[in-house]
Structure 1
């Protein structure tokens, strides 16, 4: 375990696939009950672990067909103290399930990893509150709040941590500092509104530059997730240095706003082929975009469309 913690293969080039909208896939396609959108509860029983295994396998099979690497994110986006308390998990139970999530991924890596196509294990961190509403923690409070989960990932043997769907610069700074204090590589993924800005109005440039300034560039790289490319394409300017810090995309399938998605009772799967084309265009303008996956509404079909657009098929030996 912790096979790549001190030499992340993403930095050496090549494309790395990730999964897509785990929670939306499990709820809308598989009919799984996920209280409070929490997938980590599935780790506590055999049926749930099998559902998760099948979910990841669909993406890993796409990666194998195309010969890409893979970033295996743990199903722990909600496994923090506030959400855990709502689900009956105290600090000890959360620590155990976060560590178990890494062992679960390590078994998947042993089954799927092949020479030339590394699988990186990343502990997934989510926002303390709602990813669509502004948080109000300062950076010191955020560092203290998220440290326990990151420590569990470190002890469990994760290669890195990735914080998803962040809309607060202070929370991002706190997470990056907590990871740095535990000698864990970290990535930060911001979400934006339809105007390409964070919910409080910061631009992506302002958010990324603030995190780098306040942490001494401790973050390995940044991503954008939980927004459709049409929401942030205009916010990215080719040739501006700050955009080179963005190495990953995990877009939503739908062009709807966060408010519209919150009100929707049906899953909007969008157009996988169009999403693949948009990823290609973004990669042409921003060559460092190499970690590709999806978020709400996406499934393995979207991952396949992205790979088919960005990477020629190449079967690896079994």
Structure 2
């Protein structure tokens, strides 16, 4: 039997921001194909990852929130590993090692931050902005099954599918997680119109995944979009809104195409982003998990936490 996740209906939970954009633009780390999991291969790389997560855990300790440690494995799936020249056996070992690193951080910080949830992070088979050639549900389950299994065997509390662009891939991941008896969270990428890159509405996507998986996801999240892009979608309402439990927003109001074409990192206004999240939480109090996506770092999450913690406490 799977255990209940403490972030469902509990206190405010934080998670990290834009791991890859922080490492590349702020710290000068070379990440081919945005593959942060490559840092797990060396002691120096692991120290860089630890230092990254520790900044966020410090915020959670200061503000008295829970925390979700998302493993740095967004690109650690077979097709991306092949592009990077990483054999399957090493890929499996790195996925397990990512959970072990998260567990080590949890053990080290448990006295100051509680609860801490360890999550195995999965990314899309293709691009997080473009659905490209959409797999069938069965193909998606088969593709992601190995990574989900590695996370489950290493003892992850849950798995999170980040930047999902289409329903069949989300269904496949949820089914792979269900087969391993581990809860999952599905986080959809949204465009400036508040819809998935396929053009499908968020509510329709949530309902479709729930229907196909027996509502296996613990909850759903929105990511890779600025709050101004999806506030209208959430205002439309519907029963599916109760299933939206988290947000990992972009710092920038730019479209995905504009972000792709830009040579610089648009980190927006952290204070303004915090206020926008507070307004979002006031309207949708079921949301409990806040972090960041493209362009965000610990400054943004700190502002979000300060703006939102009082609302959840109330």
TM-score (norm 1): 0.95
Pair 1:115–1:308, CA change in 2 (3 A): closer
Asked whether the equivalents of residues 9 and 286 of structure 2 are also in contact (C-alpha less than 8 Å), the reply is no
Contiguous gaps of at least 5 residues in structure 2 = none
Q: Deviation digits for residues 28-65 of structure 1, max 9, x if unmatched? A: 00000001100000000011111101100110000000
Contact kept? 1:238, 1:285, Cα under 8 Å: no
Give the stretch that moved more between structures: 80-89 or 70-79: 80-89
Q: Distance in 2 between matches of 1:151 and 1:203?
A: 30
Per the alignment, residue 7 of structure 2 pairs with 10
Superposed displacement of residue 116, structure 1: 7.1
Mapped contact 2:164–2:188 kept (Cα < 8 A): yes
| Counterpart in the other structure of 1:51 | 48
Match of 2:130 in 1: 133
- 1:124 lines up with 2:125 in the alignment: no
Matched, 1:214 2:209: no
C-alpha distance in structure 2 between counterparts of 1:204 and 1:239, whole Å: 11
In the TM superposition, residue 91 of structure 1 has moved relative to its aligned partner by 1.4
Question: Which of 149, 152, 160 in structure 1 is aligned with 2:150?
Answer: 152
- Give the 3 Å change call, closer, same or farther, for CA 87–116 of structure 1 in structure 2: closer
Mapped partners of 2:130, 2:17: distance in 1: 22
Q: How many residues align?
A: 310
Q: Secondary structure at the match of 2:247?
A: strand
Residue number in structure 2 paired with 1:165: 163
Q: Output one character per residue of 1:112-166: Cα deviation in whole Å (capped at 9) or x when no partner.
A: 1237721100000000000111141010100000000000000111000000000
CA contact (8 A) 2:145 2:173 kept: yes
Name the CA shift for 1:116/1:264 in 2 (closer, same or farther; >3 Å).
closer
Matching residue of 2:22: 25
Structure 1 residues 239, 264: CA separation in 2 closer, same or farther (over 3 Å shift)? closer
Q: Is the contact made by 1:238 and 1:286 (CA closer than 8 Å) also made in structure 2?
A: no
Give the TM-score normalised by the residue count of structure 2. 0.96
Cα deviation for residue 90 of structure 1 reads 1.8
Which whole-Å CA distance do the structure 2 matches of 1:41 and 1:64 have between them?
Answer: 28
1:142 corresponds to = 140
- Judged with a 3 Å threshold, the aligned counterparts in structure 2 of structure 1 residues 7 and 248 are, in CA distance, closer, same or farther, namely same
Structure 2 vs 1, CA of residues 79 and 51 (structure 1 numbering), >3 Å: closer, same or farther? same
Cα 1:254–1:214, aligned 2, differ >3 Å: closer, same or farther?
same
**Separation (CA, whole Å) in 2 of partners of 1:47 and 1:134:** 34
**Match of residue 292 from structure 1:** 290
- Moved segments of 4+, more than 2 Å: 237-240
Equivalent in the alignment of 1:41: 38
SS of corresponding position for 1:265: coil
Q: Is 2:98 the partner of 1:101?
A: yes
How far apart, in 1, do the equivalents of 2:236 and 2:201 lie? 15
8 Å Cα contact 2:8-2:288 kept in structure 1: no
* Separation in structure 2 between the aligned mates of residue 114 and residue 144 of structure 1, nearest angstrom: 39
Contact 1:248 1:292 in 2 (8 A): yes
Deviation at 1:240, TM superposition (A): 2.2
Q: 2:254: which partner in 1?
A: 256
CA RMSD of aligned residues (A): 1.5
* Cα deviations by residue, 1:174-202 (Å, 9 ceiling, x for unpaired): 00001001101000000111111111110
1:5, 1:160 within 8 Å by CA — same for their partners in 2? no
